[in-house]
């Protein structure tokens, strides 16, 4: 599928601020499952934008605005082609293949606690309800069951948690948003010794009603040995398919927050975020492919 994405973040300050420094994780990744064909970032007030790849191979932009300003607006526009196909479950696989995978030694960051993914008694109680997979158990089925449990037992509610919510708080409340669902599933995996990481991105609902489609989205990926990194969205209880656009991966939300920064001045700000994810229809995609073929023919 081919998508166009517009992501606007705006901060308004009650009094002018200065010396603001901002980091953005807004550029969709390019890999074997998707390709970012176009990306541009515009900032107001205007400033020079720098880019780098972080320790998790995410494409990151950062900038500074030193003069006084009472508003900061960051607009990211992307075009992405996904090639995953429909989201389907991988073939069954014994947990032992994960435990014996030699790559585990390199995945320490995704096996231990992180800033928002902490182990706790409430998490252990939830894990006891779900059950931990043994060496001979199907780890794919366990991952799917854990996602299903969160989807059924937790309530999607934008008013109960904040971006600083921990796993313990989310489990205690049994509610939250996609960030919370992803953090809890990641914590369950890590608690059982299965590497898991946080993925930020977008989801296109299409004709289906998908929770989280109106903003940035988040889901979890588990490292399942020979299967590699496998993603599932516990908020909607679905395997990751063509309708998902991947932006960044990390230990938790802290590593991949879309826009984060510091400034000198006002102690508060008013934040507004608008996200639009549009997909080309099959007819539009066919027309675009035909235009590309014609252009290639003319160039020959």
pLDDT at 64 over 80: yes
Tens of pLDDT, residue by residue over 192-212, are 999 999 999 999 877 667 886
Tens of pLDDT, residue by residue over 70-102, are 999 999 999 999 988 888 888 999 999 999 999
Percent of the chain with pLDDT over 70: 92
Query: Domain 95-255 falls in which CATH fold?
Result: C8orf32 fold (3.10.620)
Percent of the chain with pLDDT over 90: 78
Which string of DSSP letters, residue by residue, matches 41-110? EEEES----EEEE-TT--EEEEEEE-S-EEEEEEEEEEEEEE---S--PPPP-BHHHHHT-GGGGG-GGG
pLDDT at 233 over 60: yes
Other CB atoms within a 10 A radius of the CB of residue 183 amount to 29
Predicted model pTM: 0.90
The whole-number pLDDT of residue 293 equals 60
Band (pLDDT 50/70/90 cuts) for residue 223 is very high
CA distances from 81 to 13, 25, 87, 244, 299 (A): 37, 19, 16, 10, 24
The whole-number pLDDT of residue 297 equals 62
CA distances from 106 to 111, 195, 206 (A): 10, 10, 38
Q: Could you state, in order of their start, the residue ranges of all structural domains in the chain? A: 2-82+256-299, 95-255
Q: How far apart are CA 60 and CA 24, in angstroms?
A: 6
pLDDT averaged over every residue in the chain: 91
Q: Answer whether CATH 2.60.40.2250 is correct for domain 2-82+256-299.
A: yes
The whole-number pLDDT of residue 165 equals 87
Tens of pLDDT, residue by residue over 122-171, are 999 999 999 999 999 999 999 999 999 999 999 999 888 888 889 999 99
The whole-number pLDDT of residue 286 equals 62
The whole-number pLDDT of residue 209 equals 77
Question: What mean pLDDT is predicted for residues 216-236?
Answer: 94
pLDDT at 215 over 80: no
Tens of pLDDT, residue by residue over 13-42, are 999 999 999 999 999 999 999 999 999 999
Using DSSP bridges, classify how beta strands 69-82 and 2-24 pair: parallel, antiparallel or unpaired.
antiparallel
**166 secondary structure, DSSP code:** -
- Angle at alpha carbon of residue 98, lines to 217 and 197, rounded to 5°: 20
Tens of pLDDT, residue by residue over 255-299, are 999 999 999 998 888 999 999 999 876 666 566 556 656 655 665
């Amino acid at each position: 599928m081919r998508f166009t994405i517009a992501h606007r973040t705006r901060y308004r300050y009650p009094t002018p601020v200065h010396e603001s420094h901002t980091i953005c994780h807004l550029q969709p990744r390019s890999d074997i499952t998707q390709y970012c064909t176009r990306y541009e970032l515009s900032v107001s007030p205007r400033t020079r934008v720098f880019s780098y790849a972080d320790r998790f191979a995410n494409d990151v932009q950062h900038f500074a605005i030193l003069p006084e300003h009472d508003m900061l607006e960051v607009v990211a526009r992307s075009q992405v082609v996904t090639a995953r196909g429909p989201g389907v479950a991988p073939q069954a696989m014994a947990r032992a293949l994960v435990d014996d995978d030699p790559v585990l030694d390199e995945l320490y960051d995704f096996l231990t606690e992180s800033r928002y993914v902490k182990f706790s008694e409430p998490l252990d109680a939830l894990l006891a309800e779900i059950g931990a997979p043994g060496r001979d158990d199907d780890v794919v089925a366990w991952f799917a069951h854990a996602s299903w449990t969160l989807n059924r037992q937790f309530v999607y509610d934008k008013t109960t948690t904040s971006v600083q919510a921990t796993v313990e708080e989310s489990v205690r409340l049994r509610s939250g948003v996609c960030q919370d669902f992803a953090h809890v599933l990641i914590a369950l995996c890590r608690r059982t010794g299965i590497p898991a990481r946080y993925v930020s991105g977008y989801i296109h609902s299409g004709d289906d009603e998908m929770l989280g489609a109106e903003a940035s989205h988040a889901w979890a990926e588990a490292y399942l040995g020979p299967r590699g990194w496998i993603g599932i969205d516990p908020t909607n209880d679905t395997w990751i398919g063509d309708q998902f656009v991947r932006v960044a991966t990390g230990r938790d939300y802290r590593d991949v927050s879309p826009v984060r920064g510091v400034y000198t001045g006002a102690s508060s700000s008013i934040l507004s975020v608008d996200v639009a994810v549009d997909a080309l229809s099959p007819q539009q995609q066919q027309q675009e492919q035909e235009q590309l073929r014609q252009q290639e023919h003319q160039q020959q």
